[in-house]
Copies of this chain bind each other. A is one copy, B any other.
Amino acid sequence: MAEDFKVTPWEVSGDIDYDLLMERFGTTPIDEALLKRLSGYGEIHPMLRRGIFYTHRDMIRLLDEYDKGNKFFLYTGRGPSGQTHLGHLMPWIFNKWIQDVFGVPMLFQMTDDEKFLFKDLTLVDTKSLAYQNALDFVALGFDPEKTKIILDTENISALYPIALKVAKKVTFSTAKAVFGFDNSTNIGSIFFTTVQAAPAFLPSEQQGRQVPCLIPCGIDQDPHFRVARDAAPGLGYPKPSMLYCKMFPGLGGGDKMSSSDENATIYTTDGAKDVKKKVGRAFTGGRVSVEEQKKCGGNPEVCAVFKYNYYLFEKDDGKINDLADKCRRGEILCGECKAALTDKINVFLEDHQQKREKAKDIVDGMTFDGFKWVK
Protein backbone atom coordinates (compact mmCIF):
# COMPACT_ATOMS: atom_id res chain seq x y z
CA MET A 1 0.00 0.00 0.00
CA ALA A 2 1.24 3.43 -1.00
CA GLU A 3 1.08 4.96 2.48
CA ASP A 4 3.14 2.20 4.06
CA PHE A 5 6.23 4.28 4.78
CA LYS A 6 7.51 6.38 7.65
CA VAL A 7 9.78 9.43 7.59
CA THR A 8 10.85 11.08 10.85
CA PRO A 9 14.22 12.56 11.86
CA TRP A 10 15.02 9.23 13.54
CA GLU A 11 13.37 6.65 11.31
CA VAL A 12 13.00 6.29 7.56
CA SER A 13 11.34 3.08 6.49
CA GLY A 14 9.22 1.61 3.72
CA ASP A 15 8.98 2.72 0.10
CA ILE A 16 8.79 6.49 0.31
CA ASP A 17 6.17 8.18 -1.84
CA TYR A 18 7.84 11.59 -1.99
CA ASP A 19 4.82 13.38 -3.47
CA LEU A 20 2.60 12.03 -0.74
CA LEU A 21 5.21 12.97 1.85
CA MET A 22 5.26 16.55 0.54
CA GLU A 23 1.48 16.58 0.86
CA ARG A 24 1.56 15.18 4.39
CA PHE A 25 4.19 17.69 5.53
CA GLY A 26 2.54 20.56 3.66
CA THR A 27 5.60 21.73 1.75
CA THR A 28 5.56 23.34 -1.71
CA PRO A 29 6.93 21.69 -4.88
CA ILE A 30 9.96 23.28 -6.52
CA ASP A 31 8.28 24.15 -9.83
CA GLU A 32 9.51 25.40 -13.17
CA ALA A 33 9.00 29.04 -12.18
CA LEU A 34 11.21 28.65 -9.09
CA LEU A 35 13.85 26.75 -11.06
CA LYS A 36 13.84 29.52 -13.67
CA ARG A 37 14.23 32.16 -10.98
CA LEU A 38 17.07 30.22 -9.34
CA SER A 39 18.83 29.93 -12.72
CA GLY A 40 19.15 33.72 -12.63
CA TYR A 41 21.74 33.39 -9.84
CA GLY A 42 23.89 30.65 -11.35
CA GLU A 43 23.68 27.50 -13.42
CA ILE A 44 21.08 25.26 -11.82
CA HIS A 45 22.56 22.42 -9.80
CA PRO A 46 21.82 18.91 -11.14
CA MET A 47 20.16 18.03 -7.79
CA LEU A 48 17.57 20.73 -8.52
CA ARG A 49 17.19 19.88 -12.22
CA ARG A 50 16.69 16.22 -11.37
CA GLY A 51 14.18 16.76 -8.60
CA ILE A 52 16.45 15.44 -5.84
CA PHE A 53 15.96 18.74 -4.04
CA TYR A 54 12.27 18.75 -4.89
CA THR A 55 10.26 20.70 -2.33
CA HIS A 56 10.56 23.85 -0.25
CA ARG A 57 9.09 26.28 2.23
CA ASP A 58 9.18 30.05 1.75
CA MET A 59 11.85 30.22 -0.97
CA ILE A 60 10.08 33.08 -2.78
CA ARG A 61 10.18 35.35 0.27
CA LEU A 62 13.84 34.45 0.85
CA LEU A 63 14.81 35.33 -2.73
CA ASP A 64 12.75 38.54 -2.63
CA GLU A 65 14.69 39.61 0.46
CA TYR A 66 17.97 38.59 -1.14
CA ASP A 67 17.15 40.67 -4.22
CA LYS A 68 16.54 43.65 -1.94
CA GLY A 69 20.02 43.18 -0.48
CA ASN A 70 18.94 41.34 2.68
CA LYS A 71 21.26 38.35 2.52
CA PHE A 72 20.35 35.06 4.15
CA PHE A 73 22.70 32.65 5.90
CA LEU A 74 22.80 28.89 5.36
CA TYR A 75 22.21 26.43 8.14
CA THR A 76 22.44 22.67 7.91
CA GLY A 77 23.93 19.95 10.07
CA ARG A 78 24.79 16.42 10.98
CA GLY A 79 23.90 14.06 13.79
CA PRO A 80 27.24 12.39 14.55
CA SER A 81 26.16 8.79 15.09
CA GLY A 82 28.70 7.11 12.83
CA GLN A 83 31.28 7.61 10.10
CA THR A 84 30.29 9.80 7.15
CA HIS A 85 28.86 8.04 4.10
CA LEU A 86 27.94 9.27 0.62
CA GLY A 87 24.35 9.91 1.70
CA HIS A 88 25.56 12.54 4.15
CA LEU A 89 27.73 14.28 1.57
CA MET A 90 24.87 14.76 -0.92
CA PRO A 91 23.01 17.65 0.79
CA TRP A 92 26.32 19.17 1.95
CA ILE A 93 27.51 19.33 -1.67
CA PHE A 94 24.30 21.15 -2.48
CA ASN A 95 24.85 23.56 0.43
CA LYS A 96 28.33 24.28 -0.90
CA TRP A 97 26.78 25.16 -4.26
CA ILE A 98 24.35 27.58 -2.58
CA GLN A 99 27.19 29.18 -0.62
CA ASP A 100 29.17 29.70 -3.82
CA VAL A 101 26.27 31.01 -5.90
CA PHE A 102 24.87 33.39 -3.30
CA GLY A 103 28.10 34.19 -1.44
CA VAL A 104 26.51 33.63 1.95
CA PRO A 105 27.75 32.54 5.40
CA MET A 106 26.93 29.13 6.81
CA LEU A 107 26.35 27.54 10.21
CA PHE A 108 26.88 23.79 10.38
CA GLN A 109 25.42 22.17 13.51
CA MET A 110 26.71 18.87 14.86
CA THR A 111 24.14 17.41 17.25
CA ASP A 112 26.29 15.29 19.55
CA ASP A 113 23.62 15.78 22.24
CA GLU A 114 20.89 14.36 19.98
CA LYS A 115 22.81 11.24 19.07
CA PHE A 116 23.69 10.67 22.73
CA LEU A 117 20.02 10.95 23.67
CA PHE A 118 18.57 8.85 20.84
CA LYS A 119 21.27 6.21 20.36
CA ASP A 120 23.30 3.79 22.43
CA LEU A 121 26.35 6.09 22.34
CA THR A 122 28.28 8.04 24.99
CA LEU A 123 28.97 11.77 24.76
CA VAL A 124 32.61 10.92 24.15
CA ASP A 125 31.54 8.73 21.21
CA THR A 126 29.36 11.39 19.63
CA LYS A 127 31.95 14.13 20.14
CA SER A 128 34.74 12.23 18.46
CA LEU A 129 32.43 11.14 15.65
CA ALA A 130 31.56 14.82 15.21
CA TYR A 131 35.22 15.54 14.52
CA GLN A 132 35.40 12.74 11.95
CA ASN A 133 32.24 13.99 10.24
CA ALA A 134 33.46 17.60 10.32
CA LEU A 135 36.54 16.62 8.31
CA ASP A 136 34.25 15.40 5.51
CA PHE A 137 32.19 18.54 5.65
CA VAL A 138 35.24 20.80 5.50
CA ALA A 139 36.78 18.68 2.70
CA LEU A 140 33.95 19.77 0.42
CA GLY A 141 35.48 23.24 0.26
CA PHE A 142 33.22 25.52 2.28
CA ASP A 143 34.62 29.02 2.60
CA PRO A 144 36.54 28.98 5.92
CA GLU A 145 35.95 32.72 6.30
CA LYS A 146 32.20 32.31 6.02
CA THR A 147 31.57 28.96 7.67
CA LYS A 148 31.33 28.07 11.34
CA ILE A 149 30.81 24.62 12.84
CA ILE A 150 28.65 24.35 15.96
CA LEU A 151 29.06 21.38 18.30
CA ASP A 152 26.02 21.37 20.58
CA THR A 153 27.64 20.42 23.88
CA GLU A 154 30.50 22.88 23.26
CA ASN A 155 28.34 25.77 22.05
CA ILE A 156 25.34 25.24 24.29
CA SER A 157 25.83 28.58 26.04
CA ALA A 158 24.99 30.38 22.78
CA LEU A 159 22.17 27.98 21.85
CA TYR A 160 20.49 27.47 25.23
CA PRO A 161 18.81 30.87 25.68
CA ILE A 162 17.27 30.52 22.21
CA ALA A 163 16.32 26.89 22.86
CA LEU A 164 14.55 28.00 26.06
CA LYS A 165 12.56 30.61 24.15
CA VAL A 166 11.48 28.02 21.59
CA ALA A 167 10.76 25.48 24.35
CA LYS A 168 8.40 27.87 26.12
CA LYS A 169 6.27 27.94 22.94
CA VAL A 170 6.07 24.17 22.39
CA THR A 171 3.85 21.84 24.41
CA PHE A 172 4.34 18.11 24.90
CA SER A 173 1.15 17.68 22.89
CA THR A 174 2.79 19.28 19.86
CA ALA A 175 6.02 17.32 20.28
CA LYS A 176 4.02 14.11 20.57
CA ALA A 177 2.01 14.84 17.43
CA VAL A 178 4.98 16.02 15.35
CA PHE A 179 7.60 13.46 16.38
CA GLY A 180 5.48 10.55 17.54
CA PHE A 181 6.84 10.65 21.09
CA ASP A 182 5.08 8.74 23.85
CA ASN A 183 5.29 8.34 27.62
CA SER A 184 8.40 6.19 27.34
CA THR A 185 10.41 8.86 25.48
CA ASN A 186 13.21 10.30 27.56
CA ILE A 187 12.86 13.96 28.53
CA GLY A 188 16.08 14.96 26.76
CA SER A 189 14.76 13.67 23.45
CA ILE A 190 11.56 15.65 24.01
CA PHE A 191 13.52 18.88 24.58
CA PHE A 192 16.07 18.30 21.82
CA THR A 193 14.18 19.85 18.91
CA THR A 194 14.66 23.28 20.53
CA VAL A 195 18.43 22.89 20.27
CA GLN A 196 18.13 22.04 16.58
CA ALA A 197 15.94 25.13 16.13
CA ALA A 198 18.45 27.44 17.82
CA PRO A 199 21.05 27.96 15.03
CA ALA A 200 18.26 29.12 12.68
CA PHE A 201 17.73 32.07 15.02
CA LEU A 202 21.29 32.59 16.29
CA PRO A 203 22.35 35.37 13.86
CA SER A 204 19.02 37.17 14.51
CA GLU A 205 19.64 36.91 18.27
CA GLN A 206 23.25 38.06 17.98
CA GLN A 207 22.63 40.91 15.54
CA GLY A 208 19.34 42.07 17.07
CA ARG A 209 17.55 42.07 13.70
CA GLN A 210 15.67 39.54 11.56
CA VAL A 211 18.39 37.69 9.62
CA PRO A 212 16.87 35.41 6.92
CA CYS A 213 17.86 31.75 7.13
CA LEU A 214 17.90 29.01 4.48
CA ILE A 215 18.12 25.38 5.54
CA PRO A 216 18.85 22.88 2.74
CA CYS A 217 18.55 19.37 4.18
CA GLY A 218 16.83 15.99 3.95
CA ILE A 219 13.05 16.08 4.07
CA ASP A 220 13.18 13.80 7.13
CA GLN A 221 14.18 16.91 9.13
CA ASP A 222 10.95 18.79 8.34
CA PRO A 223 9.28 17.89 11.67
CA HIS A 224 11.99 19.85 13.53
CA PHE A 225 11.65 22.87 11.31
CA ARG A 226 7.86 22.87 11.36
CA VAL A 227 8.16 23.31 15.12
CA ALA A 228 10.86 25.99 14.73
CA ARG A 229 8.87 27.86 12.08
CA ASP A 230 5.71 27.82 14.19
CA ALA A 231 7.58 29.27 17.18
CA ALA A 232 9.49 31.94 15.22
CA PRO A 233 6.94 34.76 14.82
CA GLY A 234 6.09 34.85 18.52
CA LEU A 235 9.78 35.24 19.32
CA GLY A 236 10.48 38.00 16.80
CA TYR A 237 12.59 35.70 14.63
CA PRO A 238 12.01 35.16 10.89
CA LYS A 239 10.69 31.74 9.85
CA PRO A 240 13.57 29.84 8.22
CA SER A 241 13.14 28.94 4.55
CA MET A 242 13.63 25.31 3.62
CA LEU A 243 14.94 23.35 0.62
CA TYR A 244 14.35 19.63 1.04
CA CYS A 245 15.96 16.69 -0.75
CA LYS A 246 15.01 13.07 -1.04
CA MET A 247 16.99 10.48 0.90
CA PHE A 248 20.17 9.16 -0.75
CA PRO A 249 19.41 5.55 -1.73
CA GLY A 250 21.09 2.49 -0.24
CA LEU A 251 23.12 0.12 -2.39
CA GLY A 252 20.80 -2.66 -1.31
CA GLY A 253 17.91 -1.05 -3.15
CA GLY A 254 16.27 0.68 -0.16
CA ASP A 255 15.17 4.28 -0.20
CA LYS A 256 17.83 5.45 2.23
CA MET A 257 21.51 4.64 2.65
CA SER A 258 21.91 3.59 6.23
CA SER A 259 24.88 2.82 8.43
CA SER A 260 22.97 -0.12 9.85
CA ASP A 261 23.88 -2.12 6.73
CA GLU A 262 27.63 -1.60 6.37
CA ASN A 263 27.89 -3.59 3.17
CA ALA A 264 25.31 -1.42 1.42
CA THR A 265 26.94 1.81 2.60
CA ILE A 266 29.95 3.55 1.11
CA TYR A 267 31.91 5.50 3.69
CA THR A 268 34.10 8.44 2.78
CA THR A 269 37.12 6.61 4.15
CA ASP A 270 36.51 3.39 2.16
CA GLY A 271 39.37 2.12 0.00
CA ALA A 272 39.08 1.18 -3.69
CA LYS A 273 38.66 -2.52 -2.87
CA ASP A 274 35.84 -1.86 -0.40
CA VAL A 275 34.02 0.20 -2.99
CA LYS A 276 34.47 -2.45 -5.67
CA LYS A 277 33.10 -5.12 -3.36
CA LYS A 278 30.15 -3.07 -2.16
CA VAL A 279 29.12 -1.85 -5.61
CA GLY A 280 29.61 -5.37 -6.90
CA ARG A 281 26.90 -6.54 -4.49
CA ALA A 282 24.52 -3.69 -5.26
CA PHE A 283 20.87 -4.25 -6.06
CA THR A 284 20.26 -3.51 -9.75
CA GLY A 285 17.40 -3.43 -12.24
CA GLY A 286 18.93 -6.33 -14.18
CA ARG A 287 17.27 -9.53 -15.33
CA VAL A 288 17.84 -13.08 -14.13
CA SER A 289 20.13 -13.91 -17.06
CA VAL A 290 22.34 -12.11 -19.53
CA GLU A 291 20.20 -13.43 -22.37
CA GLU A 292 16.98 -12.14 -20.89
CA GLN A 293 18.54 -8.74 -20.12
CA LYS A 294 19.81 -8.38 -23.68
CA LYS A 295 16.34 -9.29 -24.93
CA CYS A 296 14.05 -7.42 -22.51
CA GLY A 297 16.34 -4.71 -21.10
CA GLY A 298 16.91 -3.65 -17.49
CA ASN A 299 15.02 -1.30 -15.23
CA PRO A 300 17.03 1.79 -14.19
CA GLU A 301 14.13 3.09 -12.04
CA VAL A 302 14.78 0.53 -9.32
CA CYS A 303 18.53 0.15 -9.84
CA ALA A 304 20.83 1.37 -7.02
CA VAL A 305 23.74 1.67 -9.47
CA PHE A 306 21.71 3.91 -11.77
CA LYS A 307 20.47 5.97 -8.80
CA TYR A 308 24.06 6.58 -7.65
CA ASN A 309 24.83 7.99 -11.07
CA TYR A 310 21.64 10.00 -11.06
CA TYR A 311 22.00 11.41 -7.54
CA LEU A 312 25.71 12.09 -7.43
CA PHE A 313 28.13 10.64 -9.94
CA GLU A 314 26.92 11.54 -13.44
CA LYS A 315 26.27 15.26 -13.67
CA ASP A 316 25.80 15.33 -17.45
CA ASP A 317 22.10 15.08 -18.30
CA GLY A 318 22.82 13.79 -21.81
CA LYS A 319 24.95 10.98 -20.47
CA ILE A 320 22.52 9.99 -17.72
CA ASN A 321 19.62 9.79 -20.18
CA ASP A 322 21.78 7.82 -22.54
CA LEU A 323 22.66 5.37 -19.76
CA ALA A 324 19.00 4.87 -18.89
CA ASP A 325 18.09 4.27 -22.53
CA LYS A 326 20.89 1.80 -23.07
CA CYS A 327 19.86 -0.10 -19.95
CA ARG A 328 16.24 -0.25 -21.01
CA ARG A 329 17.26 -1.51 -24.45
CA GLY A 330 19.51 -4.19 -22.96
CA GLU A 331 22.58 -2.62 -24.51
CA ILE A 332 24.51 -2.41 -21.28
CA LEU A 333 24.79 -5.10 -18.63
CA CYS A 334 24.94 -4.68 -14.87
CA GLY A 335 28.57 -5.75 -14.56
CA GLU A 336 29.66 -3.02 -16.94
CA CYS A 337 27.60 -0.42 -15.15
CA LYS A 338 28.94 -1.49 -11.77
CA ALA A 339 32.53 -1.28 -12.98
CA ALA A 340 31.98 2.22 -14.36
CA LEU A 341 30.33 3.44 -11.15
CA THR A 342 33.08 1.87 -9.04
CA ASP A 343 35.65 3.83 -11.04
CA LYS A 344 33.72 7.07 -10.64
CA ILE A 345 33.27 6.60 -6.90
CA ASN A 346 36.92 5.72 -6.44
CA VAL A 347 38.07 8.77 -8.38
CA PHE A 348 35.79 10.89 -6.22
CA LEU A 349 36.90 9.28 -2.96
CA GLU A 350 40.60 9.48 -3.75
CA ASP A 351 40.25 13.22 -4.26
CA HIS A 352 37.94 13.57 -1.24
CA GLN A 353 40.31 11.67 1.02
CA GLN A 354 43.16 14.00 0.08
CA LYS A 355 41.00 17.02 0.84
CA ARG A 356 39.89 15.33 4.07
CA GLU A 357 43.52 15.09 5.16
CA LYS A 358 44.04 18.77 4.39
CA ALA A 359 40.84 19.57 6.30
CA LYS A 360 42.65 18.59 9.50
CA ASP A 361 44.61 21.84 9.23
CA ILE A 362 41.53 24.01 8.65
CA VAL A 363 38.87 22.44 10.87
CA ASP A 364 40.36 23.82 14.11
CA GLY A 365 39.84 27.36 12.88
CA MET A 366 36.25 26.81 11.82
CA THR A 367 34.71 26.08 15.22
CA PHE A 368 32.00 28.41 16.52
CA ASP A 369 33.31 30.48 19.47
CA GLY A 370 36.65 28.64 19.08
CA PHE A 371 35.86 25.38 20.88
CA LYS A 372 38.45 22.60 20.81
CA TRP A 373 37.66 19.30 19.08
CA VAL A 374 37.79 15.94 20.81
CA LYS A 375 39.84 14.08 18.20
Contacts and interface: CB of A to CB of B under 8 A. Distances in A.
A141 interface: no
B117 A168 contact: yes
A170 interface: yes
Contacts of A154: 157
Interface string A171-201: 1110110000111111111110110000000
Given A168-B117, A170-B187, A161 B194 contact: no
Given A113-B160, A153-B160, A160-B156, A181 B191 contact: no
A171 B157 contact: no
- The A interface, classified by DSSP as helix, strand, loop or mixed, is helix
A154 B184 CA distance: 31
A169 interface: yes
A181 B185 CA distance: 14
21 contacts: A117-B168, A123-B164, A123-B165, A153-B161, A154-B157, A156-B160, A157-B157, A169-B186, A170-B186, A171-B183, A171-B187, A172-B172, A172-B181, A172-B185, A172-B186, A172-B190, A173-B184, A175-B187, A188-B191, A190-B190, A191-B191
Interface string A136-177: 000000000000000001101100110111011111110110
A308 to B, nearest CB: 36
Given A123-B164, A167-B186, A172-B185, 7 more contacts: A117-B168, A123-B165, A153-B164, A154-B157, A167-B188, A167-B191, A168-B188
A53 interface: no
Of the listed residues A181, A183, A191, the one surrounded by the most CB atoms of chain B closer than 10 A to its CB is A191
Contacts of A186: 167-172
A173 B165 CA distance: 24
Given A123-B161, A154-B157, A184-B173, A168 B116 contact: yes
Nearest to A184: B171
Contact of A184 (B153, B161, B172, B184): B172
A362 B21 CA distance: 59
Interface of A: 113, 116-117, 123, 153-154, 156-157, 160-161, 163-165, 167-173, 175-176, 181-191, 193-194
A117 B175 CA distance: 16
A328 B123 CA distance: 63
A266 to B, nearest CB: 31
A154 B161 CA distance: 9
A44 B32 CA distance: 81
Contact of A183 (B123, B172, B193): B172
A252 to B, nearest CB: 31
Of the listed residues A163, A185, A187, A189, the one surrounded by the most CB atoms of chain B closer than 10 A to its CB is A187
Contacts of A165: 123
B161 A187 contact: no
A113 B156 CA distance: 13
Contacts of A194: 187-188
